[in-house]
């Protein structure tokens, strides 16, 4: 009978776990729809901003800016966009594998999300800044991180900047990606939207398109090309990081919803197996008691 009590206790425990994972699944599903909508809606703006920058770069003007300065290979700062919480399947572990490609002696890290910061510290890499998620101010958070990284580059503390994040492709598919951030090389493709249905525009194709556009439109810059380029580059970098954060957020909620659904299904299946085992043991116990009673009566008779 003690075994029956243990099984009943396990069934109650697994049922409670299933209720929790089911609730987390519903919450993640509600957040997932909003996050996916925000990520998808940001892509057309990124494409349009990229076209504007391509047209400017195709005017033939000599574009020079401190954010475009090429330097010898030296220190690289990597912005890692992870999650603050777990329970999202293999999302973070797949992302952290990308960090293993960097040389720890020549790389410093900026973490957006506590999980990324914890991995960087555990793997004995140099973490110089950590930013936590701000659900209602993600654009402000993106601007803060972008200006911080740009400041490191302009001050000469780092020679390159890259982004490591999870790109949202679909509800069931999220892919870790690495992307260059600074210096700005091809401003026309700087904020090109990540299209899950096709590859990004190649630099040669971008130059061809820019030349075609510049042949149709004659631009006059007031007060100067430098004065126009400065706010455009800052805006492009801010929005690039904002779009990356939106993609990572959509990926996180999608992965968590799928993981919690899988956990709920596994818990229910385990409850069915435990219930079947409980009924078998209970039937065996009843049968044993009936045999003992019938044996006792036959002996008395």
Is residue 165 located within the same domain as residue 58? yes
Q: Name the residue range of residue 287's domain.
A: 2-28+257-294
Instruction: Give bridge partners of residue 254 from the DSSP assignment.
Output: none
Domain assignment present for residue 301? The answer is: no
As a whole number of angstroms, the distance between CA 39 and CA 251 comes to 10
Domain assignment present for residue 244? The answer is: yes
Q: Which two tokens stand for residue 83?
A: 């999650």
* pLDDT for the residue numbered 43: 83
Q: Catalytic: which of 14, 18, 88, 112? A: 88
What is the CATH number for 265?
1.10.287.80
Instruction: Report the range of poorest mean pLDDT among 76-85, 265-274, 288-297.
Output: 288-297
* pLDDT for the residue numbered 259: 93
Give the end of a domain, one of 254, 270, 285.
254
Catalytic residue check, 216: no
Is residue 8 located within the same domain as residue 122? no
As a whole number of angstroms, the distance between CA 214 and CA 22 comes to 55
As a whole number of angstroms, the distance between CA 19 and CA 17 comes to 5
Domain assignment present for residue 41? The answer is: no
For 274, other C-beta atoms within 10 Å of its C-beta total 17
Is residue 107 located within the same domain as residue 204? yes
Is residue 262 located within the same domain as residue 246? no
pLDDT tens digits, residue range 121-180? 999 999 999 998 877 788 889 999 999 999 999 998 999 999 999 999 888 899 999 988
Structural domain tally of the chain?
2
Domain assignment present for residue 40? The answer is: no
How far is Cα of residue 190 from the mean position of the Cα atoms in its chain? 20
* pLDDT for the residue numbered 3: 82
Q: Which residue has the higher pLDDT, 169 or 194?
A: 169
Domain assignment present for residue 14? The answer is: yes
* pLDDT for the residue numbered 218: 63
Is residue 19 located within the same domain as residue 127? no
Is residue 81 located within the same domain as residue 200? yes
Is residue 119 located within the same domain as residue 11? no
Is residue 248 located within the same domain as residue 266? no
Domain assignment present for residue 267? The answer is: yes
| DSSP for residue 188 | G
Is residue 63 located within the same domain as residue 139? yes
* Cα separation values, 55 from 42, 69, 88, 226, Å: 20, 21, 41, 15
pLDDT tens digits, residue range 205-256? 444 444 444 445 566 777 777 777 778 888 888 888 999 999 999 999 999 9
Is residue 71 located within the same domain as residue 187? yes
Which helix or strand (DSSP H or E) is residue 24 part of? helix 2-57
Is residue 168 located within the same domain as residue 77? yes
Triad 204, 239, 50: Cα angle to 5°: 25
Is residue 77 located within the same domain as residue 207? yes
- The 3-state DSSP class for residue 162 equals strand
Residues 6+ apart with CB under 8 A from 293: none
pLDDT tens digits, residue range 81-127? 999 888 898 999 999 999 998 999 999 999 999 999 999 999 999 99
pTM: 0.79
Domain assignment present for residue 175? The answer is: yes
User: Exposure string (b/e) for 153-184, b if CB count within 10 Å is 16 or more?
Assistant: beeeebbbbbbbbbbbbebeebebbeeebbbb
As a whole number of angstroms, the distance between CA 90 and CA 115 comes to 12
| DSSP for residue 68 | G
Domain assignment present for residue 36? The answer is: no
What is the CATH number for 161?
3.40.1380.10
- The 3-state DSSP class for residue 108 equals strand
pLDDT tens digits, residue range 251-271? 999 999 999 999 999 999 999
């Amino acid at each position: 009978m003690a075994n029956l009590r243990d099984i009943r206790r396990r069934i109650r425990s697994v049922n409670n776990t299933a209720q929790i994972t089911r609730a987390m699944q519903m919450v993640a599903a509600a957040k997932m729809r909003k996050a996916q909508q925000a990520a998808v809606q940001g892509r057309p703006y990124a494409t349009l901003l990229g076209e504007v920058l391509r047209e400017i770069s195709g005017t033939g003007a000599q574009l020079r800016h401190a954010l475009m300065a090429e330097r010898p290979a030296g220190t690289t700062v990597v912005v890692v966009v992870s999650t603050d919480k777990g329970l999202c399947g293999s999302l973070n572990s797949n992302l952290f594998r990308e960090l293993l490609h960097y040389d720890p002696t020549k790389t410093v890290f900026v973490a957006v999300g506590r999980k990324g910061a914890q991995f960087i510290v555990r793997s004995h890499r140099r973490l110089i800044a950590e930013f936590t998620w701000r659900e209602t101010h993600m654009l402000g958070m993106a601007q803060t991180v972008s200006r911080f990284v740009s400041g490191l580059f302009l001050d000469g503390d780092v020679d390159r900047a890259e982004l490591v994040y999870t790109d949202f492709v679909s509800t069931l598919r999220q892919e870790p990606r690495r992307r260059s951030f600074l210096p700005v090389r091809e401003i026309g493709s700087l904020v090109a939207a990540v299209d899950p249905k096709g590859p990004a525009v190649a630099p040669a194709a971008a130059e061809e398109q820019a030349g075609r556009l510049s042949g149709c439109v004659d631009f006059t810059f007031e007060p100067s090309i430098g004065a126009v380029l400065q706010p455009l580059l800052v805006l492009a970098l801010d929005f690039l990081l904002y779009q990356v954060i939106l993609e990572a957020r959509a990926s996180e909620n999608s992965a968590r919803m799928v993981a919690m659904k899988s956990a709920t299904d596994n818990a229910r299946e385990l409850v069915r197996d435990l219930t079947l085992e409980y009924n078998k043991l209970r039937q065996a116990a009843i049968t044993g008691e009936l045999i003992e009673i019938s044996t006792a009566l036959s002996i008395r008779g």
